[in-house]
Structure 1
Amino acid sequence: MAFEFQPQVMIDSFPLLIGGLEYTILITVAGLALGLFLGIVAGLINCGTNKFLKYVATAYIETIRGTPLIVQVMFLYFGLPLALGVRIPPVTAGVIAIGVNAGAYIAEIVRGAIISIHHGQEEAARSTGLNKFQTMLYVIWPQAFRRMIPPLGNQFIISLKDTSLLVVIGVAELTRRGQEIISINFKAFEIWLAVALLYLCLTLSLSYLLRLLERRMNAKIMKN
């Protein structure tokens, strides 16, 4: 039987897919908020001098970067509750998994951006009477943050797409909704095309917003 493309199937599926899209956006935003917090903290620690904290931060980063996200998700949802005796809701587990995973990569972005600032900047700031915290806040961090934007944008997009892996724990995100619809109408080509287009819209929108932020920050620098 010849294949026949049916665009109406895509149109009819969008209302159900939008429900999954909302979960995808929710998990991405919440997960990246957690990831930014963990990444900034771990990155700053690795730029510091406390050896114990640097060891803890490095262990976190290397452990997360050295294991697949899907394994982390399965461990968090299926393994950890057995040890703790507490059931973690799928969406909560998804947010934590995305946040912890993204945080490890963001930590290296933060560390790399900070150490890329010439040491003379810190010396000049300290010579004006600023303490270490003020130097980081007013001199080092603003310059480092501008350098972080492109790699942070890449990580945000990766984390957004990684939410599709949460299908293994039954989170009703976009990919899961696509599977559910296909199990009913068996129109895999049209449904997966619709899912891909929705992911593409999300990633393009995110890329646009990040480029807009970068241009505004560069324009602000030119004015100053």
Structure 2
Amino acid sequence: MAADMPTTFFGWVVFIINQYGSALLQGAGVTLMLAIVGTLIGCIIGLLVGIVQTVPVTERTNTGLKILNKIVQFIFAAYVEIFRGTPMIVQAMVVYYGSMAVFDIDMSAMLAGFLVVSVNTGAYMAETVRGGIISIDKGQTEAAMAIGMNHFQTMYTVVLPQALKNIMPQIGNNLIINIKDTSVLNVISVTELYFASKSAAGVYYRYFEVFFVTCVIYFIMTFAASRLLRYFEKRMAGSADYQLVGDPMADPTGIFPNNTKMGGK
């Protein structure tokens, strides 16, 4: 048996791929599922928290609503600071083991993983959304309010469509971070890529070769995610050129002929 073992680095790499390639790919699939679902749910959490954090309070606001707003703002601020100020690996241990110890909930490792990635991403996205909302010119919000829109209507129809384009790079950054950071979930026995790699490496004690393959898989996932997100960013940005509508009323002056390109070379 020993005579059949590889003797070179790349020989071991090929051997590891042949022996444990399917297990590593399954782990990579779990990693992607945790990262994508966790990022999506985290973005929803971040949007809700970010919108509430920007609710305006004026002198005309009811006293009860002012008190309620302060309580909610305090809770959300505490949520953001706690989950941004503690490591995800510690959060995973607290959620997984604490759910049973404190609430007597027998939570599966995968459910705990989804929960941790989601709320952690939500804490970072809340600040990103808040910054994106603030970056939009206040005149647009004031104009929306002037025609009778409330805060949430203004956010949904006017501010968020513009803010979303501004925060897309950060959403992509969070996805890439989550692809890598899900590796910490191995401490609660989530069978993601790092967990599968550690198990494979322990069989033959070939840690360098196994984690070299793992490194390549992580790079492929993050590189593909970054290219895909860059594509969506360009699609959302739109074309640098635009055309006047072929309707005489679109140009009552008659200066520009139909189908004239503007804004581009």
Q: Scaled by the length of structure 1, what TM-score is found? A: 0.92
Answer with 1 or 2: which has the greater Rg: 2
Aligned to 1:104: 123
Query: How many residues are paired up?
Result: 222
Shift of 1:219: 1.4
Aligned partner of 1:134 among 140, 153, 158 = 153
Runs of 4+ deviating beyond 6 Å: none
Alignment of 1:149 with 2:168, yes or no, is yes
Shift of 1:118: 1.2
Structure with more contact order per residue of length (Cα contacts < 8 Å, sep ≥ 6): 1
Shift of 1:78: 1.4
- State the Cα deviation string for residues 161-193 of structure 1 (Å, max 9, x = none): 110000111111100000111111222122101
Aligned partner of 2:37 among 30, 33, 46 = 30
CA distance in 1, matches of 2:161, 2:122: 20
CA distance in 2, matches of 1:165, 1:79: 17
Shift of 1:129: 4.7
Aligned to 2:230: 211
CA 1:44–1:130: 2 relative to 1, 3 Å: closer
Alignment of 1:58 with 2:65, yes or no, is no
How big is the alpha-carbon RMSD for the aligned residues of Structure 1 and Structure 2?
1.8
Q: Quick check: 1:9–1:191 contact (8 Å CA) kept in 2?
A: no
CA 1:85–1:222: 2 relative to 1, 3 Å: farther
Shift of 1:222: 5.2
Tell me the secondary structure at the aligned position of residue 86 of structure 1: coil
More helix by share: 1
Shift of 1:18: 0.7
Segments of structure 1 that go 5 or more residues without pairing to the other structure are: none
Output the amino acid matched with 1:4: T
CA distance in 2, matches of 1:52, 1:62: 15
Q: Scaled by the length of structure 2, what TM-score is found? A: 0.79
